[in-house]
Amino acid sequence: MNPKRTRIVFIAGYGRSGSTLLGQMLGRVPGAVFVGELRDIWARGVIDNEPCGCGQEFRRCEFWNAVMQRAFGGLAGLDAVQMLADQGTIDKNRNIPMLVLLDRVPGDFAAAKRPREYVRAMAQLNRAIIETAGARLIIDSSKDPSTLCTLARAPELELNVIHLLRDSRAVAHSWARRKKQFDTGGQVKFMPQYSALQSALEWDWFNGWCSALKFLGHRRMRYVSLRYEDYVREPRSLLQRTSAALGLEIPDSDFDFIGADGSAELGQNHAISGNLSRFAIGKIRLKPDDEWRSAMSAARARWIKVLTLPLMLGYGY
């Protein structure tokens, strides 16, 4: 570990794969801070003022106010609209192939300044999070390969990637359900719903490019894959093995918040965006969510499997 670099555990993959829960558990490790889907901080945090994991609106959260003060001189002087525009020059799905294969975006060929400015801002933000939290490790569940490759362009950041996987049929079923994203302080927001076809194709797209990072050895990222179905059945042993594979040097005793009965004690966090479960505090029982097996028709499950079969087989499903 280079002490001068900001260390990040980045949970990569596709949505509805259990990334919020995984981030919450890793965030319980002493010296770690879970920040949720940090890529959404400009739109959902600064601009829309949605609640963070502590339940406070973003602009009223003491932690995020302190982070923004340290990184950018405070919220008052931060141009979030410009930051969001800068994000659009690099951290977009359409840029994933170029970022993964070439470490370039179209603007780089015209020597555009904005992509470089955005990478610099994200490095400042992550450093401010570490310093404000007094932590040594950031847990970021942003998932998107474009975000991961954007962060990889900052030499100040050290990336450790957990590629989180889940059965494509379970993911498709989850995206089809109507689910709340938050319901606090009089604000209610529901997560988007996708058709089975869209979620199957996006499952291929996001997971395929995340897997490519391993084979390309992109930017010397440490990479390990983890299946949702495995870690909810054996949470302690799987998290221990995953952290060891990433060289995180976490003592086994730091996972004492996970009980022998498969329960976990969750604490308060300051997660941006993500699943409603980020507001959960206290003891929970970990168990696979396999509702899709009884709720999804056999025909739909079959053609989702066909659309995702090559990767499903590669991931051991």
Measured CA to CA in angstroms, residue 162 lies from 145, 182, 207, 215 at distances of 12, 26, 12, 14
Q: Which of 222-225's residues contact partners 24+ apart within 8 Å by CB, and which partners? A: 222/159, 222/160, 222/161, 222/246, 222/247, 223/161, 223/163, 224/161, 224/162, 224/163, 225/162, 225/163, 225/164, 225/165, 225/315
Is residue 117 situated within a structural domain? yes
Query: Would you say residue 220 has pLDDT above 80?
Result: no
Q: Residue 76: inside a domain, yes or no?
A: yes
Higher pLDDT, 3 or 132: 132
Its domain, for residue 293, covers: 6-314
Is residue 198 included in any domain, yes or no?
yes
Q: pLDDT for 2-36, tens place per residue?
A: 567 999 999 999 999 999 999 999 999 999 999 99
Q: Is residue 143 included in any domain, yes or no?
A: yes
- Longest Cα–Cα distance of the chain, Å, equals 57
In this model, does residue 1 exceed pLDDT 60? no
Domain count, the chain: 1
pLDDT bracket for residue 130 (50, 70, 90)? very high
Q: What is the CATH number of the domain that holds 175?
A: 3.40.50.300
pLDDT at 182 over 90: no
pLDDT average, residue stretch 283-289: 94
**Is 1 part of any domain?**
no
Is residue 43 in a domain? yes
Predicted confidence at residue 156, as pLDDT, reads: 96
Q: What is the pLDDT of residues 77-124, one digit of tens each?
A: 899 999 999 999 999 999 999 999 999 999 999 999 999 999 999 999
In a domain, 57, yes or no: yes
Is residue 42 included in any domain, yes or no? yes
Note the pLDDT of residue 219: 67
Give the pLDDT confidence of 183-210 residue by residue, as tens digits: 876 778 999 999 999 999 999 999 999 9
b/e per residue, 211-233, with b = 16+ CB within 10 A? bebeeeebbebebbbbbbbebbe
